[in-house]
Structure 1
């Protein structure tokens, strides 16, 4: 019984650690021209946006495309990071099986 209880506590602690690490995911991406920098969280939500002075030289359409593509790239990287965390968690869980 003690071994089972210890195993459950280890699994619970690993799950809490996974949740904390997933909540801490932040990815920063800057457009190729350096005009837009987007920061997203692990859910792909935009949490920060920085625009350089060069934004004034972009047309509205170019600005929109740059913003969307930069934020989307950051979101893809954030999802990949979260996926790697989950994969690592699952591999550890399988080893403890």
Structure 2
């Protein structure tokens, strides 16, 4: 019975470490996207939240409506890429978790 408990404990620690690693990777996601004209660079985190916005002198050539459109489109592309990256990390975690379970199934 001790061997079974040791195996269970080892598996739980592996899974805990996998979860911590996933958390670190999710926290570390940063995506920078620059508009085609170079006027706007947006950086978002793994939740798609804007964490930095850099405006070049090119914005002086834009109307207010164009400026708004470029900022929203650029930040939107960055957020999309961040969410895609987040999904890839979660999918990889789920696959690794399933493989670490007895019989290869996570039960989820």
TM-score range, shorter chain: over 0.9
Partners in 2 of 1:39 and 1:50 — Cα distance?
Answer: 9
| Residue-by-residue CA offset, 1:38-81 (whole Å, 9 max, x unaligned) | 00000111001111101111100000000000000000000000
**Match among 23, 29, 33 for residue 33 of structure 2:** 29
Residues 1-97 of structure 1 mapped to structure 2, 5 A cutoff:
1-97=5-101
Pairs aligned (count): 97
Aligned to 2:33, the other structure's residue is in SS state strand
Determine which structure has more spread, i.e. the larger CA radius of gyration: 2
Partners in 2 of 1:5 and 1:28 — Cα distance?
Answer: 41
CA shift for structure 1 position 96? 1.1
- TM-score, normalised to structure 1, is 0.98
Over the aligned positions, Cα root-mean-square deviation in angstroms equals 0.5
Aligned to 1:95, the other structure's residue is in SS state helix
- Where does structure 2 lack aligned partners over 5 or more consecutive residues? 102-108
- Where does structure 1 lack aligned partners over 5 or more consecutive residues? none
Partners in 2 of 1:50 and 1:19 — Cα distance?
Answer: 28
CA shift for structure 1 position 94? 1.1
Aligned to 2:15, the other structure's residue is in SS state helix
